[in-house]
Amino acid sequence: MKKFNFIVLLAILICTSTWAQEKPAEKPIPEPEVFISNQTVRINGVNHTLKTRAGTMLLRDENNEPIALHGFTAYFKEDGPSKRPIIFSFNGGPGSSSYWLHMGVMGPKRIVVNDPGYTKAAPYELVNNEYSILDIADVVMMDPIGTGLSIPVGKAEGKDFWGVDQDIRAISLFIMQFLKEYDRLQSPKYLLGESYGTMRNAGVMNYLLDRGFALNGVVMVSAVFDLRSLAFPVQESTSYLVHFPTYATTAWYHDKLKNKNPNLEAFVDEVRKFTEEEYMPALFKGGRLSDAEKSALATKLEHYSGVSKDYWLRANLRVKAQEFFNELLREEGMTVGRLDSRFIGINPFPQNQYAITDPQSDAISPAYTAGFLDYFHRDLGVSKKLNYKTSAYSSPGFKWDWSHKGNEGWGSMISINTAIDMADAMNKDPHVKVLIMNGYYDLATVFYGVEHTIDQMNLRPEIRKNIIMTYYEAGHMMYTHLPSLVKFKKDLADFIKDTMH
């Protein structure tokens, strides 16, 4: 019996020794790197010197375990503790880095593009950004994990960050730890997100508040909170209704309307009224709509959209955005932009039902990409050995988890709605204000969809007043349009000053 026990013990020791040898060693945690430089921006005739840090910060989880190197670029007016406002800014995607906002409006330099045409190849024009908010606030450009220089470390994997709730948590952890690291806990705090970054904002503002970090203000650029407004789900009318006013503004811009109202804002109000009082009841009626009623409505849809009555009738009064891109200028062999419908491009397949490219993205992406990388490595001094990823889409295993706490049981990604998070935060903190900036020609996140979502948030009137809506005669990235860029700066500056008191 003793001999048997000895043999068993020996076998266990051998197996344990073998397992220990075969167990892969944990990956070493790479050291964060920060590259420091001084940048200058001239605004309203005054030069502002900025102490700039670009690189990564070691991000830790709630148990103080390292989980990521989080990339950022921070522009400070001064070092150390400060009560100067600080804005955390990011783009969307999900899966996009922050270089669009960085080089379009937030940083000390901006890329000049040929709005609303195609920008020629390099050399690109990089100029002083006199419309930056850096004269009023410090800015931290954030790159979510998988973008920029941001990577998972330790035991963490990409899937721990790639999802609605995972992303909200990671962004919030970075903000809380950054404020502590750079002695900015007493600074007035702001979020500024674009596109999916607004869905993120709505969740982050609530996540931070629940952990004792109240925000002074939240800025939503080209917002969407409820994905049902964009997805055109089967037997659901909301998407068709909320897109229609932007179809109308697009037709207005491209002179596809007869006897159009010359005042854009007055025209938009007219289209809102038609949508609510005539188009919506007709779609709600559905199959009970008579042929005569359909014909009369299709005539009005043509009047406001520039798309023929016959097309509307063939589509059963429901036209998806991808179809509208191709249809409006089909006879000219052109297609309009999704991100900004002022932009037009060649339609190589005019017989197609759907557009296959986005002229606005095609027109400006090379300038932004090459211009930013040149600035990042040359002006900010970030090592050229480090690869800045403009998006996470090429990352191995990148897949977004669309489930969201509070939306359980709602179905698929088209049911995701973070407006509930924003409403919760605004009810718990009646001082926080939200600025929503909308482009009239944005067919990616349509302005009427945002208006509809806000109207359904069930906010008390005194809380509803804390949401400010501004509008621009441009698209998703309204800052590529110089008059809108000027207005963007004024609206943002006024918002920050208002929330400081």
**pLDDT at site 10:** 38
Tokens of 250: 């697009």
Q: Is the pLDDT of residue 165 over 50?
A: yes
pLDDT tens profile 337-362: 999 999 999 999 889 999 889 999 99
Query: Distance of CA 246 to CAs 7, 183, 322, 340, Å?
Result: 79, 44, 13, 10
Q: Is the pLDDT of residue 39 over 50?
A: yes
Q: Is the pLDDT of residue 2 over 70?
A: no
**pLDDT at site 350:** 87
Higher pLDDT, 194 or 231: 194
Higher pLDDT, 102 or 228: 102
For residues 164 and 145, what is the distance between their CA atoms, to the nearest angstrom? Answer: 13
CA angle 230, 234, 236 (to 5 degrees): 65
Q: Is the pLDDT of residue 28 over 60?
A: yes
Q: What percent of the chain has pLDDT over 70?
A: 93
Nearest to 481 by CA among 113, 102, 220: 113
Residues 6 or more apart whose CB falls under 8 angstroms from that of 459 comprise 423, 426, 427, 467
**pLDDT at site 413:** 54
Phi, psi angle pair for 391, to nearest 5°: -150, 165
Confidence category of residue 409, pLDDT binned at 50, 70, 90: low
**pLDDT at site 80:** 79
Tokens of 449: 């969809």
Q: Is the pLDDT of residue 101 over 60?
A: yes
**pLDDT at site 269:** 98
Q: Which spans in 110-224 are helix H?
A: 164-181, 196-210
Residues 6 or more apart whose CB falls under 8 angstroms from that of 368 comprise 99, 100, 103, 104, 111, 113
Domains recognised in the chain with CATH numbers: 34-228+365-499 (3.40.50.1820), 232-359 (no CATH)
Q: Which of 85-89, 102-106, 352-356 has the lowest mean pLDDT?
A: 352-356
Average pLDDT, the chain: 93
**pLDDT at site 234:** 83
Confidence category of residue 262, pLDDT binned at 50, 70, 90: very high
Q: Are 253 and 342 in contact (CB under 8 A)?
A: yes
**pLDDT at site 25:** 56
pLDDT tens profile 437-484: 999 999 999 999 999 999 999 999 999 999 999 999 999 999 999 999
Q: Is the pLDDT of residue 272 over 50?
A: yes
Taking CB atoms within 8 Å and a gap of at least 24, the contacts of 421-425 are: 421/202, 421/203, 421/205, 421/206, 421/207, 422/201, 422/202, 422/205, 422/206, 422/218, 422/225, 422/457, 423/457, 423/458, 423/459, 424/206, 425/202, 425/205, 425/206, 425/209
Please give the DSSP secondary-structure letter assigned to residue 379: I
**pLDDT at site 14:** 40
For residues 111 and 103, what is the distance between their CA atoms, to the nearest angstrom? Answer: 6
Confidence category of residue 70, pLDDT binned at 50, 70, 90: very high
Phi, psi angle pair for 343, to nearest 5°: -75, 135
Q: Is 188 exposed, middle or buried (0-12, 13-18, 19+ CB in 10 A)?
A: middle
Phi, psi angle pair for 76, to nearest 5°: -115, 140
**pLDDT at site 11:** 42
Confidence category of residue 15, pLDDT binned at 50, 70, 90: very low
Q: Which of 261-270, 295-304, 354-363, 409-418 has the lowest mean pLDDT?
A: 409-418
- Mean pLDDT calculated for residue range 61-65: 97
Nearest to 271 by CA among 306, 295, 236: 306
Q: Which of 39-43, 146-150, 355-359 has the lowest mean pLDDT?
A: 355-359
